[in-house]
Structure 1
Amino acid sequence: MNKLLRHLLTLPHPVRVFITLTCASLGLIIYMVSFPLTHNGNILPVAVGITTWMFKKKGFFIYIIVGTPILLIYHALRIGSLLWSYTFIFSFTAGFLTLLLECFFVITLRELVDSADEARNRAQEAEKRVEVAYEQQYQLNQIKDQFLISMNHELRTPLTELHGYLELLYERYEQINSTTQIRYIEHAFQASQELQQLTYNVLDAMQIDDQGKVLLAEEFALAGQVENIVKHLSADKLENYTIQVEIPADLTAFANAQAMRHIVHNLLSNVFKYAPLHTKISIDAQQIYKEGKEQICLSVQDEGAGIPPDEMPLLFQQFVRLKRDISGPIRGTGLGLYICRKLVEAMGGSIWVESDGISGHGSRFSFTLPMMKQTSQNMNISMDEQRVSR
């Protein structure tokens, strides 16, 4: 019975109204058909109880307001007079008071049930919030552990190299020739550059989640910015790769130029890490319509090993590296693409990768930039000029 009564409360409102009207009508019909037999009002408490249970006070008052005039008119027609006997008046009044008492108990029971359900719902919501908080804490601990593991591995190697070469120069400066000294200095410099890049990535990842700073947008010619990035690449990169830029000269973006340079720089850095030497790198851009807006789609295509499709969904998360690269010789923090995603999203765009995972087919990283000023655009990340424009 308890389950049945609770189930009635979960029914759609039209269904409950239909059940209530049906019970009320049947109660009045049975009452009229059996009138004036003894205890002929026993059927009414059932209909009143169901109506009150369904709609509480509102249901009871509607039933009384509608049902009482019907009964009064029916009694007058059956008795043939508007004047009732004292016995009938007493019986009718006693029945009416009984219905009022029944209504009080049913409404009280319904309120207790509602309170219990509300308390149970609050407890379930609190339990869900605790579970969500626990899951978030677990994920934060996982990120922290991954960060510590990654930093322990990635920082130790260049630090060891830097310290080792500087130690050799310090202790055996007079014993080694100038050619070897220059070679040691070059190795030490390369190790320091790796340390600098790793440190910048960590600092950028920490700063990029600060929502209190503003990423200012401006109009700029995209071709000039990208060509400037390529122009300032190191000589060995320009010698070892064929970099092809195909961007219309009149293509103008409305975004943050520093952030755009940072994104392209990170994407090119990944290409230089993983793409074989003497392969082609293509950088192109075109105007597209996405989500009803004019946007620019800028892409960086390489001829590397590609990315397995099952690892693509996690590629732009923090500290994520491909399985094949974790134990490989190429070092990295797994933060570069995460920083790219946050910067692109801050400028109102999106970033994605296309690859079939076949070696030699490479990968194509693409991201969008606004072409026109967005009145409600929220750009809320600021990066240091010295790091963004490197």
Structure 2
Amino acid sequence: MPTPLRLLVAEDFPPDAELILSEVRRAGYDPVATVVDTAGKFLRALDDEPEVVICDYTLPTMTAPDALAILQAKQPELPLIVVSGTMDEATCVNSLRLGAADYLLKDRLSRLGPAIDHALARRELDRVARLAEQRRDETMNIMLGLVDNSVAAISVQNLSGKTLVSNDLYNQLSTDHPPLASASPIRTAGAEVVQRQEMFTVDGEQRTFHAVRYPVLDGTDTVFAVGSILVDITDQKRIEADLRRARTELEARNQQLDVANAELREVDRLKTEFVASVSHELRTPLTSIRGYAELLLDEADGNDSQSSKMLDIIDRNARRLLNLVEDLLLLSKIDSRTLTHEYVEVELADVAEGALLVLKPSAETAGVTLRLETPGELPVMGDRSQLERVLLNLLSNAVKFSEQGGTVTVRGTLERHDDQDQVVIRVIDTGLGVAAEELPKLFTRFFRSASDAAHKIPGTGLGLAVVREIVENHGGSVDMESVLGEGSTVVVRLPRRQ
């Protein structure tokens, strides 16, 4: 099957043009030919992108050298074959020197087919060569860009130490450092990469570099040069040293803290034991004092009001001291994890009623009304004595912070909260209230609000802390809502007995 060929023929004699096309067909091509006979037509025909040009040496307005000059300017890769009726050596040599692909006599056009084959092959070779050169240049530019803009110092040196390629960073290294010593394993053992740390002087400062030396091979896999990549790791080494020092110091401080913590734990243990011991020792004589005071009150002559009054003061203050001792003893047991619970079925409504009876004399003296509002049974599981302490502490605070004519209400309800059935006790007073910024601190041990000091209300700051510890040990929660000057509501939530 004939090979298609876009052909441009510059010939002013039609029979010769037909003879040329006939020889092209005979050579196995199927030419799509454009025949021109002037320079202007020749220029315009080049826009059709012919693959081969066949040009008569002499035309009325153009010669073959003229056509070659045009091609050199516009399409230097386009092959041109010169044909002529006569030939002399000078004309032939001149045409080939100007870039002609071949030079043929018109009476020997049988060689036209091989000449076209040769011209097309040469054109393809030239195209491939140009493409390869272009890619080589692109690759070279990429490599040079990487070298010049790298944060590492890069060079390639031949085995005599002559630098073939280097970037500015490498050139700035003040120490003359030929690669031969570092490259000796590469030169003697073949393709082997050497990595190590090396010292260089940069701007008068000794700096540490991570050096990579690698072999550069030629086409026969022979090492002809050594590449070097040097990365400045001085700051990294300094940071690593600082981190090691910091880690050592931190470990030493941690050891000191461990010792200090152990000492603090021992001090805390001794403190807890001391408080427990003192509280226990105080409870016995205080109980005795109260017992004898009550006995004397029972035996006192009703007419001796002065003696009864003094005995009542002794009993009241002994009771206050005993409550304080009980609070301290309870907290010390909680801290030492020795607090035990006797969990039984407890009816919290009965406990609340009993607490109100205990606080009734104090409330009457203070002119405060006590109320109990419950829907009936309030069943929980817990330590009855500890739950009584919770209600006594809350009611005592409520009465203490309420002014004459005030009201303290104990309201019990059954609620469902967070997917749990709960018994909720609210102790509501119409007393002094607490500032909003103090609410988060109220259940902290020894914390006393500003209103305590302002109204000279006595207390230790342990009551609410004891309440919180007991309630949380029973799986419940306690919170307070308060408005300064309007009163407070303490909410105790405990799991309902199933």
Bin the TM-score by the shorter chain: 0.5 to 0.7
3-state secondary structure, aligned to 1:343: helix
Which residue of structure 2 aligns with residue 298 of structure 1?
425
Q: Any unmatched runs of 5+ in structure 2?
A: 1-144, 174-194, 198-209, 276-281
Distance 1:296 1:29, change over 3 A: same
Contact 2:401 2:431 in 1 (8 A): yes
Instruction: Output the CA distance in 2 between the equivalents of 1:309 and 1:303.
Output: 16
Which residue of structure 2 aligns with residue 229 of structure 1?
355
Distance 1:192 1:214, change over 3 A: closer
Which residue of structure 2 aligns with residue 56 of structure 1?
none
Give the length in aligned residue pairs: 288
Contact 1:297 1:368 in 2 (8 A): yes
3-state secondary structure, aligned to 1:363: strand
Q: 1:262: Cα distance to partner? A: 0.9
Which residue identity does 2:251 align to in structure 1? R
Q: Any unmatched runs of 5+ in structure 1?
A: 1-24, 51-59, 148-154, 374-390
Instruction: Output the CA distance in 1 between the equivalents of 2:166 and 2:251.
Output: 40
Contact 1:255 1:369 in 2 (8 A): no
Which residue of structure 2 aligns with residue 116 of structure 1?
245
Which structure has the bigger radius of gyration? 2
Which residue of structure 2 aligns with residue 371 of structure 1?
496
Mapping for residues 61-100 of structure 1, pairs under 5 Å: 79-82=218-221, 84=222, 88=224, 92=226
State which drifts further: 274-283 or 228-237.
Answer: 228-237
Q: 1:333: Cα distance to partner? A: 1.8
Q: 1:356: Cα distance to partner? A: 1.1
Q: 2:307 aligns with which of 161, 181, 184?
A: 181
Which residue identity does 1:81 align to in structure 2? T
Q: Identical aligned pairs, as a percentage? A: 23
Which residue of structure 2 aligns with residue 275 of structure 1?
402
Q: 2:331 aligns with which of 205, 219, 222?
A: 205
Instruction: Output the CA distance in 2 between the equivalents of 1:270 and 1:198.
Output: 13
Mapping for residues 1-390 of structure 1, pairs under 5 Å: 26=146, 38-39=162-163, 79-82=218-221, 84=222, 88=224, 92=226, 112-122=241-251, 129=257, 178-235=304-361, 237=363, 240-290=367-417, 293-326=420-453, 328-358=455-485, 361-371=486-496
Q: Give the TM-score normalised by the residue count of structure 2.
A: 0.45
Contact 1:282 1:302 in 2 (8 A): yes
Distance 1:27 1:296, change over 3 A: farther
Q: Deviations along 1:305-353, whole A, 9 cap, x unmatched?
A: 2122233232222222233433755422221111112212222333221
Distance 1:231 1:49, change over 3 A: farther
Distance 1:295 1:125, change over 3 A: farther
Distance 1:199 1:113, change over 3 A: closer
Instruction: Output the CA distance in 2 between the equivalents of 1:264 and 1:122.
Output: 49
Which residue identity does 2:393 align to in structure 1? N
3-state secondary structure, aligned to 2:460: coil
Q: 1:42: Cα distance to partner? A: 7.0
Q: 1:275: Cα distance to partner? A: 1.2
Instruction: Output the CA distance in 2 between the equivalents of 1:112 and 1:357.
Output: 58
Contact 1:316 1:341 in 2 (8 A): yes
Contact 2:424 2:493 in 1 (8 A): yes
Contact 1:255 1:370 in 2 (8 A): no
Instruction: Output the CA distance in 2 between the equivalents of 1:120 and 1:41.
Output: 47
Root mean square deviation of aligned Cα: 5.1
Distance 1:49 1:288, change over 3 A: farther
Instruction: Output the CA distance in 2 between the equivalents of 1:305 and 1:106.
Output: 65
Higher strand share: 2
Which residue identity does 1:348 align to in structure 2? G
3-state secondary structure, aligned to 1:261: helix
Instruction: Output the CA distance in 2 between the equivalents of 1:299 and 1:227.
Output: 14
3-state secondary structure, aligned to 1:262: helix
Which residue of structure 1 aligns with residue 95 of structure 2?
none
Distance 1:208 1:278, change over 3 A: farther
Instruction: Output the CA distance in 2 between the equivalents of 1:103 and 1:253.
Output: 73
Instruction: Output the CA distance in 1 between the equivalents of 2:323 and 2:155.
Output: 94
Distance 1:39 1:261, change over 3 A: farther
